[in-house]
């Protein structure tokens, strides 16, 4: 009986050549990541990440190459992983920060006003929230049950753990309790995120 080989997890070196100049994300995610890195690892770590992205100043609602953002979060995970329970945990924390920054934006506040605290309505708003933040990829949500759903992300450059952090932080804004998010990689840039809650 044959089993399919696991999909390799793409690292920064594999992801960067797949991006194009048209693949962008908002400046607020850069600024939030820099502040999160400063909080976790101090000014030296923040400066290293800022330099890796080119040392530019980022305007929150302008768009910048996602390739530069990937450099920031991968270097942050490498720098902080040894002292913060591993790279995956650092990436999840950076994803949580991204959700907080988005929800404080005008677009995020509007999304929350429309979705309210119902978990399924909140998740249903995610594809449009991603479109407002990122120029690339395609995301859709499938309802799997009363307290279960799946976010399907296609051509997504962000690490699986980062998106898990994004989703957990968002679910905490709803009436859901004890949310669990588990990503399952289907292809280098394609991941399904199963979300369950009480």
For the chain, what are the domain ranges?
A: 20-103, 107-196
Structure tokens belonging to residue 8: 């390799």
pLDDT of residue 109: 92
pLDDT at 2: 47
State how far the alpha carbon of 177 is from the alpha carbons of 74, 118, 170, 196, in Å. 30, 11, 12, 9
Q: Say what the pTM is.
A: 0.94
Q: Which CATH superfamily includes the segment(s) 107-196?
A: H-NOX domain (3.90.1520.10)
Query: Mind listing the pLDDT tens digit for each residue in 124-165?
Result: 999 999 999 999 999 999 999 999 999 999 999 999 999 999
pLDDT tens for each residue of the chain, 198 residues long: 445 678 888 999 999 999 999 999 999 999 999 999 999 999 999 999 999 999 999 999 999 999 999 999 999 999 999 999 999 999 999 999 999 999 999 989 998 898 889 999 999 999 999 999 999 999 999 999 999 999 999 999 999 999 999 999 999 999 999 999 999 999 999 999 999 999
Q: Return the pLDDT at 3.
A: 56
Cα distance between residue 177 and residue 103, in whole Å: 19
Give the per-residue pLDDT at 82. 96
């Amino acid at each position: 009986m044959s089993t399919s080989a696991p999909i390799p997890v793409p690292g920064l070196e594999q992801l960067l050549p797949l991006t194009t100049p048209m693949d962008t994300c908002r400046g607020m995610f850069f600024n939030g990541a820099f502040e999160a890195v400063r909080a976790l690892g101090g000014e030296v770590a923040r400066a290293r990440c800022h330099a890796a992205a080119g040392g530019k100043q980022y305007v929150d609602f302008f768009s910048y190459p996602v390739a530069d953002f990937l450099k920031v979060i991968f270097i942050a995970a490498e720098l902080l992983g040894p002292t913060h329970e591993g790279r995956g945990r650092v990436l999840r924390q950076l994803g949580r920060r991204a959700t907080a920054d988005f929800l404080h934006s005008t677009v995020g506040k509007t999304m929350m006003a429309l979705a309210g605290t119902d978990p399924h309505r909140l998740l249903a708003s995610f594809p449009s929230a991603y479109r407002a933040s990122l120029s690339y990829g395609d995301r859709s949500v499938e309802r799997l049950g009363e307290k279960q759903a799946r976010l399907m992300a296609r051509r997504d450059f962000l690490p699986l753990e980062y998106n898990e952090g994004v989703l957990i932080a968002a679910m905490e804004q709803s009436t859901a309790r004890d949310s669990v998010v588990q990503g399952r990689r289907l292809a280098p840039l394609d991941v399904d995120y199963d979300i369950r809650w009480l």
